[in-house]
Amino acid sequence: MGGCSHVLSSWAGGKVTFRDFLSVLVARWRIIALTLLTVIAATAVQTMMTPAVYTASAKIYLSATQPESATGEKVGAYAIGANDLATYVDVLNAPSVIAPLRQTLGLQPNAPVAVAADVSLTSNMMTITATDGDPVTAARIANAAGPILAEVATAKFAPLLAANGQAVQSQTIAEAQVPGAPSSPNAKRNLMLGGLLGLALGIGLALLAHALDTKVRSEDDIKALSPRPILGDIPVVKAPRDGLLTIESDPHGRHAESIRRLRTNMLFVDVTTGGHSFVITSSVPGEGKTTTTINLAMAMADAGSKVLLIDGDLRNPSVATSMGLDGSFGLTTLLLGHADPADVIQRWRETSLHVLPSGPVPPNPSELLGSEPMETLFGKLSHDFDFILVDSPPVVPVIDAVLINKLTHGLIMVVAADRTSKRDLASAVQSLETVDAPVAGFALNMVPASSTAHRYGYYGQNREVGTKLTRSERKARTDRATRAVRHSST
């Protein structure tokens, strides 16, 4: 939970920029798209299952009839006021109005009737709105409600008018028309609201997934846990028949070029540490440290340096197996005093790379690596070779990498993208800092091909857009780069 807590505190502390926000959305676009489509689909289904409701409105004018004297002349009359109109609105849904309305329209006695009214603030205009599942019925209810309301109001709710011999009359100003489309559900509005809700929910889930993500995905995740530099990012490659030794099998591929970039960046670490020996490790097994170490040693040998690759993983040695060498004798043989370095160090083909396998697996690897014979042996080998790379066990399970690091001048930690957990990496970094053996730099391994780290292509493609290099041109550039690195390392 250490890595998760750090990410959550980072977001909560306002350290995230708008670019970081956009990068999270791009990385988690599948969550956003899936959530958006799910919510829109659910909204569409709900809309289709909701019964259609039609709305029709009629506008009427309510007034009081003029009384006449015995001689037929008009006399003073009582006018309908605002209080009367408010009363009529309140009784519109009363049984005394709804029952005769059903009877007039020929509806069933228990048929639902939904009707409402709105009164103008400046006149006796009243708008009657009716809703029904049938558009024709909705229009009929709206048109018939006004006259029936006037009759009921005259008989029961207008005592002053009745005393004065007057009655309430309804005059239709605008008849209700049969609606051509339902007022509910509004498919367009529902889908728009569903889309907005789905987008907001998708973004929220994407941010939550990012905050709760336990894996190292990018260089930013490493930088959040350690201030030490990222020396290189190595793309993921499928294992060919001849293994993952891409420096030989695919020297112009992206993987090989990333290894050469890592080699070049390690030269700057040489300047700060004052030495030419490194221990290569990882936080946990399965992060590709051995493959990275072997390819890095080959790349250093290609630059003209005399390189020694030591398999310091005495618990689970794999360098000899990966390179097709005899691993029955090696480092443990030398530490036991059963042979001399010249007898067990194997040269890799016709190159300046030499390999010291681990030898037989001992019962006490930590004691051997921290012993005085190991220190003496490493001091002698440091004088015989330009570069020494030691492949060591992971940091979290055992302490071997710390013991080897006391002999070398720097520790490079390989981190597998989308595989290494932030908690394991944080634990490894903290363990090394506790014993004063800080990481000299990181190598982000197994980076997906779609990562922006490789968006500019790789060596072997001309900088001029659309121009491909020939094989001879690529070889010439490789030779120039090799001479430049050889010159900088001497």
What CATH number is associated with residue 425? Answer: 3.40.50.300
State the CB neighbour count (10 A cutoff) for residue 481: 16
Determine the Cα–Cα distance for residues 55 and 57; give it in Å rounded to an integer.
Answer: 7
Residue whose token pair is 């997934």 = 209
**Residues 132 and 203 reside in one and the same domain:** no
Number of domains in the chain: 3
**Residues 6 and 106 reside in one and the same domain:** no
Query: What are the structure tokens assigned to 442, written together?
Result: 């990181």
Query: What are the structure tokens assigned to 358, written together?
Result: 């681990």
- pLDDT recorded at residue 280: 97
Question: Is residue 67 one of the residues assigned to a domain?
Answer: yes
User: What mean pLDDT is predicted for residues 434-449?
Assistant: 91
Mean pLDDT of the chain: 85
Is pLDDT at 481 greater than 60 in this prediction?
no
- pLDDT recorded at residue 486: 47
**Residues 411 and 375 reside in one and the same domain:** yes
- pLDDT recorded at residue 383: 92
Window from 125-129, 211-215, 258-262 with minimum mean pLDDT? 211-215
Question: Is residue 202 one of the residues assigned to a domain?
Answer: yes
The answer to whether 397 and 283 are in contact (CB under 8 A) is: no
Using omega within 30 degrees of 0 as the cis cutoff, is the peptide bond preceding 147 cis? no
**Residues 159 and 193 reside in one and the same domain:** no
Percentage with pLDDT > 70 across the chain: 84
The answer to whether 289 and 426 are in contact (CB under 8 A) is: no
Sequence-separated (6 or more) residues with CB below 8 Å from residue 320: 311, 326, 327, 330, 355, 357, 358
Per DSSP, which regions of 136-219 are E strands? 168-174
pLDDT band at 455 (very low <50, low <70, confident <90, very high): very low
**Residues 109 and 167 reside in one and the same domain:** yes
- pLDDT recorded at residue 236: 87
Is pLDDT at 302 greater than 90 in this prediction?
yes
- pLDDT recorded at residue 452: 46
> pLDDT for 212-243, tens place per residue?
888 998 898 899 899 999 999 999 877 655 56
Task: Note down the domain range covering 470.
Answer: 219-489
pLDDT band at 66 (very low <50, low <70, confident <90, very high): confident
**Residues 243 and 117 reside in one and the same domain:** no
> pLDDT for 197-214, tens place per residue?
999 999 999 999 888 888
Window from 23-27, 240-244, 321-325, 376-380 with minimum mean pLDDT? 240-244
Question: Is residue 180 one of the residues assigned to a domain?
Answer: no
- pLDDT recorded at residue 13: 43
CATH number where 79 lies: 3.30.70.1130
Question: Is residue 342 one of the residues assigned to a domain?
Answer: yes
- pLDDT recorded at residue 240: 57
Sequence-separated (6 or more) residues with CB below 8 Å from residue 55: 129, 130, 131, 138, 179, 183, 184
pLDDT band at 65 (very low <50, low <70, confident <90, very high): confident
Is pLDDT at 76 greater than 80 in this prediction?
no
- Name which residue leads in pLDDT, 169 or 14: 169
Task: Kindly list the distances between the CA atom of residue 166 and the CA atoms of 67, 163, 269, in Å, as whole numbers in the listed order.
Answer: 6, 7, 105
Question: Is residue 68 one of the residues assigned to a domain?
Answer: yes
**Residues 44 and 59 reside in one and the same domain:** no
User: What mean pLDDT is predicted for residues 57-83?
Assistant: 74
Question: Is residue 387 one of the residues assigned to a domain?
Answer: yes
The answer to whether 42 and 245 are in contact (CB under 8 A) is: no
Determine the Cα–Cα distance for residues 435 and 428; give it in Å rounded to an integer.
Answer: 11
Window from 117-121, 226-230, 242-246, 450-454 with minimum mean pLDDT? 450-454
Question: Is residue 179 one of the residues assigned to a domain?
Answer: no
pTM over 0.85: no
**Residues 383 and 412 reside in one and the same domain:** yes
> pLDDT for 52-62, tens place per residue?
999 999 999 99
Residue among 338, 304, 310, 305 nearest 323 (CA): 310
- pLDDT recorded at residue 269: 80
**Residues 299 and 153 reside in one and the same domain:** no
- pLDDT recorded at residue 20: 76
**Residues 45 and 60 reside in one and the same domain:** no
The sign of the torsion formed by the CA atoms of 345, 348, 351, 354 equals negative
User: What mean pLDDT is predicted for residues 174-179?
Assistant: 95
Determine the Cα–Cα distance for residues 278 and 264; give it in Å rounded to an integer.
Answer: 14
- Name which residue leads in pLDDT, 120 or 163: 120
pLDDT band at 123 (very low <50, low <70, confident <90, very high): confident
**Residues 247 and 190 reside in one and the same domain:** no
- pLDDT recorded at residue 448: 87
Query: What are the structure tokens assigned to 439, written together?
Result: 């990481």
Determine the Cα–Cα distance for residues 150 and 64; give it in Å rounded to an integer.
Answer: 10
DSSP lists the bridge partners of residue 414 as 282, 443
User: What mean pLDDT is predicted for residues 78-84?
Assistant: 82
- Name which residue leads in pLDDT, 404 or 156: 404
Query: What are the structure tokens assigned to 461, written together?
Result: 């493609």
- pLDDT recorded at residue 218: 87
Residue among 38, 44, 35 nearest 201 (CA): 35
**Residues 66 and 140 reside in one and the same domain:** yes
Phi and psi of 416, rounded to 5°?
A: -90, 120
pLDDT band at 272 (very low <50, low <70, confident <90, very high): low
Domain boundary (147, 174, 201) is at 174
